[in-house]
Structure 1
Amino acid sequence: MTKKYKVLFLCRENSARSIMAEALLRELAGHRFEAFSAGPEPALRVHPLAVAQLRPGVSDLGVLCPKSWLEFTGEWAPRMDLVVALDETVAANHAPVFPGNPALCSWDFADPLADGVADAERVRLFEKAFWQIVRQLSAFIDSPKYAVPAAVPARATPLHDACTRAPANLPNL
């Protein structure tokens, strides 16, 4: 029997990339993974362009909201198996200590909320980030390395390897 892995996606404002990753992992493989997202400076709401990318295929948008990563650091917080930084400013050396000693990794995607971007270009950046996340998550989900017996401690799992290795067949957008 295998356990359901808990994955936390981190992004600075937790309003775009990490929200899309959380929603997509829940939609694509919610039966195998519990997905969460957070950030050090959570926005007041999910960015409307992130919602626009998710709306066609994601059924439960109502549960998505920006959260502080501090919600995942206390004794009461769920024990993550994997923490994925989607923003270089929240990479492992900047992130807080999460209970349970989860594996940490980075998936680097361009920030669709970067300053100085025209509206038409911002829409294209959101679409690009969405499809990059879809491809990375698909490769991650399809990797046989995440499925280990529940008796094996989370730190001993090969999740980190599946996370850090970019699939060779993914083109750069």
Structure 2
Amino acid sequence: MTRKYKVLFLCRENSARSIIAEALLRELAGHRFDAFSAGPEPAARVHPFAVAQLRPGISDLGVLSPKSWLEFTGEWAPRMDLVIALDDSVDARHAPAFPGAPPSCIWNFADPLAVEISESERVRLFDKVFWQIVRQVSGFIELPEYTTPPSATVNAASICAPIVSAHGATTCDA
């Protein structure tokens, strides 16, 4: 059996952006990736607007749930090949140490839950962020580094360099 790349998406509450990224990576390239998501302050449930965005195309919504990033820090935790923060508040400077010290990247997306806006504006922002994440994940799975099974060592520079955030910024910590 071929080993899959393990990717952990981080977001503060792990109820929207990171859940969307996890679900999309699993759905679009689950044969090559094991996708996970977590955050420092996990919400009680996946946000209903995130579920609404995912429902039309994601086959298994039941596996999605907010989790603490501490679930991925022990000896028993799966060793990630890459950790992707979806905003600056959970990047490598703020995240705990993950087993194997995987490289980390930042994809900055607006937080559709952060600002006090009307429900109709929130729905539009969720839609916008959802499609930004779709584009980012789609581009990520097409990177040549991920077309073959992972090796024992990962070159952080080659993994992070081509990854560009929704705002055009690329960030990598190795």
- Identify whether the pair has TM-score above 0.5, normalized to the shorter chain: yes
- State the Cα distance separating 1:143 from its structure 2 match: 1.1
Structure 2 residue identity aligned to 1:60 = D
Return 5+ residue gaps in structure 2 as ranges. 169-174
- Is it true that 1:12 corresponds to 2:12 in the alignment? yes
Q: Secondary structure at the match of 1:27?
A: helix
Map 1:14-163 → 2, pairs under 5 A? 14-148=14-148, 150-155=150-155, 158-163=158-163
Q: Secondary structure at the match of 1:14?
A: coil
Contact persistence 2:4–2:149 (CA under 8 A): no
Structure 2 residue identity aligned to 1:13 = E
- State the Cα distance separating 1:166 from its structure 2 match: 4.8
Q: Secondary structure at the match of 1:6?
A: strand
Count of paired positions:
168
Q: Distance in 2 between the 1:111 and 1:152 partners?
A: 35
- State the Cα distance separating 1:154 from its structure 2 match: 2.8
Give the share of equivalent positions with the same residue, in percent: 70
Q: Secondary structure at the match of 1:9?
A: strand
Q: Secondary structure at the match of 1:139?
A: helix
Q: Distance in 1 between the 2:92 and 2:151 partners?
A: 26
Contact persistence 2:5–2:149 (CA under 8 A): no
Contact persistence 2:106–2:165 (CA under 8 A): no
* Moved beyond 3 Å, runs of 4+: 147-152
Q: Distance in 1 between the 2:112 and 2:165 partners?
A: 20
Report what 2:171 is aligned to. none
